[in-house]
Amino acid sequence: MGRQHKYEVTVTWTGNKGSGTVNYRAYARDHTIEAEDKSSIAGSSDPTFHGNRNRWNPEELLLAALSACHKLSYLHFCAISDIVVTSYIDHAEGLMTEDGKDGGRFTSVTLRPTITIQSGSDIELAKSLHHIAHEKCFIASSVNFPVTCEPEIVIL
């Protein structure tokens, strides 16, 4: 068995408007997400589900986790392959489908990073490293829906 890593967060519901969950519209979906020695994240549900649009929702956080994990894996493989990345920005998109029974699931995520590499770096290798990064991404390996990557490589 490989090494294990333990992660801990505390999620605290802050949406009690005084009467708790006496009915579906009586409470706010607001919460805070905290971890030791880190800034808090203000969370809620998606506005479609009566959430606060000014707070992060779980769906956005999942999408951000997939994007960030891929980026970190990709930068690692670039660094050890003599590909000099000078900029990386991803406009990720996720599709969640409701099942009509008060539930649903993500059905796909598409990462669309634009990566700037230094002149002299191997552009074909830079493109191919996305496949390896995807295979090694801890978060993508943990989900049960397809995560695809449509990278754009720019040479500086």
Q: Give the C-alpha separation, 48 to 108, whole Å.
A: 19
Task: Please tell me the distance from the alpha carbon of residue 104 to that of residue 152, in angstroms, as a whole number.
Answer: 31
Q: What is the pLDDT of residue 113?
A: 97
Contact 116, 86 (CB under 8 A): yes
What is the predicted pLDDT for the residue at 98? 93
**Residue 101: per-residue pLDDT:** 87
Please write the tens of the pLDDT for every residue from 62-95: 999 999 999 999 999 999 999 999 999 999 999 9
pLDDT score at 40: 97
CATH architecture of 58-155: 2-Layer Sandwich (3.30)
Q: Which residues of the chain have pLDDT under 70?
A: none
Residue 41's pLDDT is 97
Q: Where are the domains of the chain?
A: 10-49, 58-155
Q: How far apart are CA 13 and CA 148, in angstroms?
A: 33
